[in-house]
Amino acid sequence: MPFRVHALFFSAILSLALSLGATTASAGHAHLVLDVETGQVLSAENAEELNYPASLTKMMTLYLTFEALHQGRLSWEDKLVMSENAESKEPYKFAIGVGRSITVREAVMGMIVLSTNDAAVAVAETLAGSEEAFGHMMTAKARALGMENTVFTNPAGLPDPNQVTTAADMARLGVALMRDYPEEFKLFSTRTFVFRGMKFRGHNGVLSAYPGADGIKTGYTKASGYNLVTSASNGERRLVGVVLGGESAGQRDQEMMALMDRYLGPANSQ
């Protein structure tokens, strides 16, 4: 199959990239603000430095899920069975039990609103057979999207010193999501999610606090610090912002909103 050859080709690249990622990731602070229409970088700090993506990784898992939906390899109501491996992924998960299933729609909404790790793994195992194989798919797609410094090894963003990215690459992925899957991108503005009778509220503070924000994803591990990719518009201009390595969720959110205010205008956050 053409993809298998493609994936094998990338395995050689990954071997080098993994070794580089393991030794050069700084997990320091970085940010980038990009004008979506023009592609102009408006502000950047350490934007090409390697950092850990944490759950920002799920942006790529979702990109590949949307791709599979458009290609007919998945449908929204397909059932994804939870393996023992998927069920083991703490801390955020549906926790429905090994052998039980969720729909693709539930998996997508769970990843967007709740950052459910078991859902990400269930998608990965369905599309690629294993997390490792899906990591190769993710990295291959990253290269195709121009994300030259990103290596993915698992679909959820759980700690792995070999899984690295940059603020610039995360901005590219945010733009790719809205450009390639505009209808599905609208789901990133969802603040609450009802799963089998239980209502859950997301933890994207900027999405709730900043007028014009309509996504995209938060992330945190001890190694990465507090990460965030945000899309926001004032009706005339649309930006994608990335903050990596925040000291706290609150500090990260305030930094992002200040960056957005700088280029969208303070009145946008009133």
Query: Above 70 in pLDDT, residue 228?
Result: yes
Mean pLDDT of the chain: 90
Residues 132-184 pLDDT 10s: 999 999 999 999 999 999 999 999 999 999 999 999 999 999 999 999 999 99
Could you read off the pLDDT of 49-84 as tens digits, one per residue? 999 999 999 999 999 999 999 999 999 999 999 999
- pLDDT of residue 266 exceeding 90: no
| Cβ neighbourhood burial of 120 (10 Å; 0-12, 13-18, 19+) | buried
Catalytic residue of the set 89, 93, 115, 141 = 115
| 76 phi/psi in degrees, rounded to 5 | -60, -30
Spell out the long-range contacts of 218-223 with Cβ–Cβ below 8 A and sequence spacing 24 or more: 218/55, 218/56, 218/115, 218/249, 219/53, 219/54, 219/55, 219/56, 219/57, 219/115, 219/157, 220/54, 220/55, 220/249, 221/52, 221/54, 221/157, 221/158, 221/159, 222/159, 223/27, 223/52, 223/159, 223/161
Catalytic position from the list 55, 224, 231, 269 = 55
141 is catalytic: no
Respond yes or no: is residue 89 known to be catalytic.
Answer: no
Per-residue pLDDT for 8 more than 80?
Answer: no
Question: What are the pLDDT digits (tens) for 11-51?
Answer: 434 444 444 444 457 668 999 999 999 999 999 999 999 99
- Does the reported pTM lie above 0.85? yes
Task: Compute the average pLDDT of residues 115-143.
Answer: 98
More confident residue, 130 or 265: 130
- The question of whether 58 is a catalytic residue gets the answer yes
- Residue 91 pLDDT grade (very low, low, confident, very high; cuts 50, 70, 90): confident
Residue of 58, 89, 93, 141 marked catalytic: 58
**pLDDT of 4 over the 70 cut:** no
- Domains along the sequence of the chain with CATH: 2-12+21-269 (3.40.710.10)
